Amino acid sequence: MYQRGKRTVWVTGATSGIGRACVMQLIQRGDRVIALGRRLERLEQLQALMGAHNVHVAVCDVRSLDQVRRSFEDLPPDFAAVDTLVNNAGLMLGTSNFEYTDSEAMSTMVMTNCMGVLHNTSVLLPSLKSSGRGHIVNVTSIAAYYPYLTGHVYAATKAFVEHFGANLRTELASQGVRVTNVAPGRSDTEFQIVRAGKCADAPTAGLPQLKAGDVAAAICWAIDQPKHANANSIELVPACQTLSFR
């Protein structure tokens, strides 16, 4: 049976949902984790729960290349040799049709979901390559494949990430860095609360959903594959979801 060694994993969007579940599962598997997010209190709570020797936390807005770069440059020695990147940070804002979506919401989605992935990948890539076993996991969405009402900007950003990951793999396949895109369906996270602005209006309230841990387990499975194998993409949805949100 294949046995993998301890990894040092950089996880964005680690303060809740899939990112937080990833941090916990990776540490339980024996990895070290750098957990990035914008909410210091939540990061500190996660570090207290999992142990400072297992997780290093950094307050970072992935929309800022400078913040991402500083977060990497400030890593303590035990966490500096990053070999795995989980591009998880992302969000959807608004439940209305495109004509009612304001420019600030559009910009926030594009900068977070698209530029955040580019910023983290560009900063981490030299470390991933030098490790000899680098792996990039991009958390996309089934919205990248299946159009749905009110998807517009968010779905387009996830399609961007999906195609960026697929094309990046063609460049890195011969350089010892694997790339996996993981596309979840409806998930029981804060995603819908952030999207709607308040829980009562969440569009998918009451519908069957994945748990954050389900998606984290799929990410860990992809990372766990032997070096000669690569999971190009994983599409994970609730068994009864018909690939539409509305």
What value does the mean pLDDT take over residues 27-32?
Answer: 96
Delimit the domains of the chain by residue range. Answer: 8-236
pLDDT tens digits, 217-229:
999 999 999 999 9
pLDDT of 245 above 60: no
Residue 207 has pLDDT above 80, yes or no: no
- Split at pLDDT 50, 70, 90, the class of 2 is very low
Question: Where does the pLDDT of residue 133 fall: very low under 50, low under 70, confident under 90, or very high at 90 and above?
Answer: very high
Write the pLDDT tens digit of every residue in 163-200.
999 999 999 999 999 999 999 987 665 555 544 565 44
Q: Cite the beta strand spans of 51-201 per DSSP E.
A: 55-59, 84-87, 134-139, 177-184, 187-188
In the three-class reduction of DSSP (H, G, I as helix; E, B as strand; rest coil), residue 113 is classed as helix
The closest of 173, 176, 88 to 138, measured between CA atoms, is: 88
| pLDDT at residue 30 is higher than 60 | yes
- Provide DSSP, 192-211: HHHHHSSGGG-TTTTS--EE
> What band does 4 get if pLDDT is binned at 50, 70 and 90?
low
Q: Closest by alpha carbon to 210, among 232, 179, 183?
A: 183
Give 150's pLDDT tier (boundaries 50, 70, 90): confident
Sequence-distant (≥ 6) Cβ neighbours of residue 106 within 8 angstroms = 153
Give the global pTM: 0.91
Q: Say what the pLDDT of residue 185 is.
A: 85
| Cα(81)–Cα(128) distance, integer angstroms | 8
Return the CATH number of 8-236, one of 3.40.50.1240, 3.40.50.720, 3.30.70.360, 1.10.3470.10.
Answer: 3.40.50.720
- Looking at the chain, the whole-number percentage of residues with pLDDT higher than 90 is 77
- Tens-digit pLDDT profile for residues 78-105: 999 999 999 999 998 887 888 989 999 9
pLDDT in tens, 44-55: 999 999 999 999
User: Which residue among 145, 146, 148, 154 is the active-site one?
Assistant: 154
The answer to whether residue 2 is catalytic is no
The arithmetic mean of pLDDT across residues 28-37, rounded, is 97
Fill in the amino acid letter for 200.
A
- Phi/psi for 84 (5° steps) reads -140, 135
- Residue 193 is predicted with a pLDDT of 56
